[in-house]
Structure 1
Amino acid sequence: MRDDEPAVNRGTLFPELLPSDFRRVPASGTAAELVNWWWLSRWSLAPGEVSSQRILAYPTTNLVVEDALVGFAGPTTEVSQQDLVGDGWAVGARLRPAAVPAFTAEPAALRDRYVELDEPELHAAATRRVADAGVAAGVEVVAPWLVARVGAVTDEGRVANAVADYFESAPSVGGLAEAASELSISVRTLHRITTKYIGLTPHALLRRRRLQDAALLLRTDADATIAEAAAQFGFADQAHLAREFRRALGYSPSEYRRMLASRD
C-alpha cells in the first residue's frame, strides 16, 4: 500500500478521476460527533465533457448541499457512479450514524437512493455563502444547521458511532463475535445498532471493509497478487474474492487491474 494515498480514498476506485478542486476536511467542534468529514467540490467542465467516478462507498449516509438542491444519500449496497457535467459545486457531509435518526427512522429504506430534502432556507443560505467566500465557507452554514437539527447526541448514538469507527478504522476486522467483543456489546446489540443507525447488517459492513481493503491493495501495490489480497483480507480463496468483487463492482480483480493500467 502506498503511503501517499490517504486511507479515506479506500472506497474511491479511481482517485485520479476526482475533480481537481476536491478535498476532504475533518469535522470539528460539536459537529465532530455528527460528521466524519466534509467533502467539498467545485467543477467546471466544457460542453459535452463528463467526469465520471466509480465509488465503493463507506456504508454510511451523506448530507449534500449542492448548487441545485439539498440531498440525502442513503447507505449503498453496491458500487455507485457519479457523473459531473457543466459547472457546479457541492458541500457534502459524510454523516456519522448518530446523525441519521434526525433524517430517517428507517435508513434501510433509503439504500442506494438519493432523495431531495425540502430545505429552501438552508440551500439559499449556503448558496450565498459559497458565492461570497468559496465552497469551503459553505460548511459555516451547513454545520450549525445540522447540529441544530440533530440536537443532543444520545449514548446509543455514540455506541453507533463507535461501531462504524471500528468497521472502518480498526487495523484488521475479524468476525462479528470479535467485533462485538471489541466494542463491549453483544452480537444482538450489534445487529440492532447497525439496523437502526446505518441501515445495513454487520455482515454487510464486514464485506464492504474487506472489499475496500482488497481494492486498495490491488490499486496501490503492483507486486501484490490477487491470491495474497484474498488471504490478507479474510476471503476463503482467490475465487471467493473474485466472486465478491464482481458482485459488488461489476468486474473481477484482474479486470480492475487492467482498467487501472490503461489509465496510467
Structure 2
Amino acid sequence: MEAPRHDTRGIVDPSGLLRRVRFRRHEPAEPLRRYVEWYWLIDWDLPEPYASHVVPHPAVNLTFQWDEDEGPPYAEVTGVALGMYTRKLTGRGRVCGVKFRPGGFRPYAPDAPVSHWTGRALPAGAVFPGATADTARTIVTGADDPARVAALDAFLLALPRTPDPQADLAIGLVRRIRADRTVLRVGDFAQAQGLSVRALQRLFSTHVGVSPKWCILRYRIHEALELAGTRTDVDWAALAADLGYADQAHLIRDFTATVGVPPTAYAQGAEPR
C-alpha cells in the first residue's frame, strides 16, 4: 500500500493553513493499511479565529477532536462531503483524524452502503459504540505524536472488520481514477474494467459513497485547485481540454461551484465565499 502523500491536494490556501496550524500525516499499523490511508494530526493555538476550507476527497473520516475553549473531547464520523468542507478554528485545539481509503470504510460498517453517510457528520458512537468521550480524551491528550498514533492504532485494531473483496476492487478503481488523467468518461472506464456502467455505479454507491463520475470530476478539480494556487500562468483552456472538460467555461463553472471563487480569482488570493 502507498505511504502517506505529502501533497496538499484539496486544501484551499494550504500556505495560509500551514502558517496557523501544525499538520502531520502518519502511517497506521501495518494490518490497518489495507483500508486506512493515513492518520492526520492538527494542533493549533490561535490569537484570532480562522476558517479552514477543504475540497474533500471521496473518503470517510473518523476524527477525535478537542476544542479546548468549547468543551470536552469528542469523536465524529464524517461521510464524503459533496461540497467544500469548512472548519472554524478558535483558541487552542487539536484533531486526530483517520482517513479511510476511498472504498475502505465499508468493511468497518457493513450494515449500510457508504452512500448512507455521504454529506453527513454524526457522533462516532452512532457507528462505533467504543468511540466514547473517554476514548476521544485518551487519543487527543496523548503526550506526543507516537502516543496519539498508538492510541488510534489500538482503537482501530479492536474494531470488527468484515472481509470484503468488493472493497478491495473499489479501492483499486478509485486509485486508478486519481492517478490516471486519461480516465475521463464513466462508460469508457467501466468497459476497460470489464464492468457495465450500472455495476460500476452500484459498486461506488455501496463502497465509496459517491458516483464514479463524481470521483473523476473531484480529482480533476483538485488538480485545477493545486495549479491555481501555485501558478499564475495557467492556460485554462488547455487545462480544461486536458482534464476532459468540453470547454474552459465548464471547468470554470465547476471550480467556482466547488471552491466558491473562479480559478483566476483564487490564484490572485481571493477568499472562498
Give TM-score scaled by structure 1 length.
0.86
User: 5+ residue gaps in structure 1?
Assistant: 1-5
Cα RMSD of the aligned pairs, angstroms, is 2.4
Q: 1:107 aligns with which of 79, 97, 114?
A: 114
Q: Structure 2 vs 1, CA of residues 132 and 199 (structure 1 numbering), >3 Å: closer, same or farther? A: closer
1:12 corresponds to which letter in structure 2? I
**After alignment, is 123-132 or 91-100 more displaced?**
123-132
Distance 1:77 1:88, change over 3 A: same
Bigger mean CA deviation after superposition, 132-141 or 179-188: 179-188
Q: Is the 8 A contact 2:76 2:123 kept in 1?
A: yes
Measured after TM superposition, the shift of residue 242 of structure 1 is 1.2
* Structure 1 position 124 matched with structure 2 position 129: no
Is the CA contact 1:51–1:83 (under 8 Å) kept in the aligned structure 2? Answer: yes
Q: Map 1:48-127 onto structure 2 (within 5 A).
A: 49-67=48-66, 68-96=73-101, 97-103=103-109, 105-118=112-125, 119=129, 123-125=133-135, 127=137
Deviates more, 1:56-65 or 1:247-256: 247-256
State the secondary structure of the residue aligned to 1:36. strand
CA drift at 1:132: 4.4
| Matched ranges for 1:142-181 at <5 A | 142-181=152-191
Query: Structure 1, residues 169-188: CA drift from partner, whole Å, max 9, x if none?
Result: 33542212333345454433
Q: Which amino acid aligns with 2:179?
A: S
Secondary structure in 2 aligned to 1:240? helix
| Structure-2 change in CA distance of 1:127 and 1:169 (3 Å) | farther
Q: Which amino acid aligns with 1:102?
A: Y
Partner of 1:3: none
More helix by share: 1
**What is the number of residues matched between the two proteins?**
254
Paired residue type of 2:34: E
For 1:1-264, list aligned pairs within 5 A.
8-18=7-17, 19-46=20-47, 49-67=48-66, 68-96=73-101, 97-103=103-109, 105-118=112-125, 119=129, 123-125=133-135, 127-128=137-138, 130-259=140-269
Return closer, same or farther for 1:235/1:242 CA change in 2, 3 Å cut-off. same
Q: Which amino acid aligns with 1:159?
A: L
Question: Which deviates the most, 172-181 or 201-210?
Answer: 172-181
Output one character per residue of 1:149-196: Cα deviation in whole Å (capped at 9) or x when no partner.
Answer: 242432111112112212223354221233334545443322111100
CA deviations on 1:63-92 (whole Å, 9 max, x unpaired) are 101122110001011112111111111110
Identical aligned pairs, as a percentage? 25
2:6 and 2:193 mapped to 1: Cα distance? 22
* Aligned equivalents of 1:188, 1:246: Cα separation in 2: 30
CA 150–227 in structure 1, closer or farther in 2 if over 3 Å, else same? farther
Q: Relative to 1, partners in 2 of residues 1:229 and 1:150: Cα closer, same or farther, differing over 3 Å?
A: farther
For 2:119 and 2:131, the matched residues in 1 are separated by 26
SS of 1:149's partner is: coil
Give 2:39's aligned amino acid. W
Contact persistence 1:217–1:229 (CA under 8 A): no
Q: What is the rounded CA distance, in whole Å, between the counterparts of 2:262 and 2:82 in structure 1?
A: 17
Amino acid at match of 2:61: N
CA contact under 8 A between 1:90 and 1:135: conserved in structure 2? no
Structure 2 residues not aligned, in runs of 5+: 67-72
